[in-house]
A and B are shown apart, each in its own frame.
Chain A
Amino acid sequence: MKEIFQVINELVADKVIDTYAVGGAIAAHFYIGAFATFDIDIFFPVAARSTSLLDLGPLYEHLRLKGYLPKGEMIQIAGWDIQFLPTFDDLTDEAVQNAVYFDVDGEQVRVMKAKYLVAIALKTGRSKDLARVNMFLDEGKVNKESVEQLVKKFGLETQWQKYQNLT
């Protein structure tokens, strides 16, 4: 996995993207137990989120020239499917900006904080996302008050209530 994060850090060094954060199930692995996933979600900010088209061409072209080949809409690096996701709302924007660093085999990796992973999972709201929320809270990997602050800030009260009704 080290190679994956080296390649992504190089994208920042080469100014292809400004910054990034690992999100989704792989990010959850930094904090809690195992979740099935088949890809690695890399969120990055885009300058003009309001545009109706997201041109990921330059990013994909940069990787292609380094020998990292596309696989459908993803890019394969070191045997993993990498999904590059532009931040698509204020919550994912803030999650990327406030990411923390982990040392993975000597490589520094930006990872979303646990409270943002929980908030995004609440917003997504599938059963597997809510199960993940439950694990974060049950294992004490996230502070409930900090989640409630994000719930209030990003208008997730309905989703939070739905989760609480299930538990």
Chain B
Amino acid sequence: MAEIPKPDVKIYPDVSEIFRAKERRRKELAKLPIEEKLAMAEKLRDAAKLLRNSKRIEK
């Protein structure tokens, strides 16, 4: 059985490294082919519709 990969970041120096990693990821995504970007946009559109129609629960 193939070994399940472990996350490449386990311990962050501090939370700012998380944000730097997010920014790096954002730049990587900007370079994706248009087809992949469109697929992501469609996924987000579906999610947005679901979330917007979610009802708040009073507790």
Contacts and interface: CB of A to CB of B under 8 A. Distances in A.
B56 A85 contact: no
A30 B47 CA distance: 10
Contacts of B14: 52-54
A60 interface: yes
Interface residues of A, number: 39
Contacts of A74: 25
A37 B6 CA distance: 25
Interface residues of B, number: 33
A53 B17 CA distance: 11
A103 B12 contact: no
Contacts of A154: none
Given A60-B7, A75-B7, A54 B48 contact: no
Contacts of A64: 4, 6-7
A67 B2 CA distance: 13
16 contacts: A1-B50, A29-B47, A29-B48, A30-B54, A36-B41, A38-B25, A38-B26, A39-B25, A53-B12, A54-B12, A55-B10, A64-B7, A69-B5, A73-B7, A79-B43, A83-B18
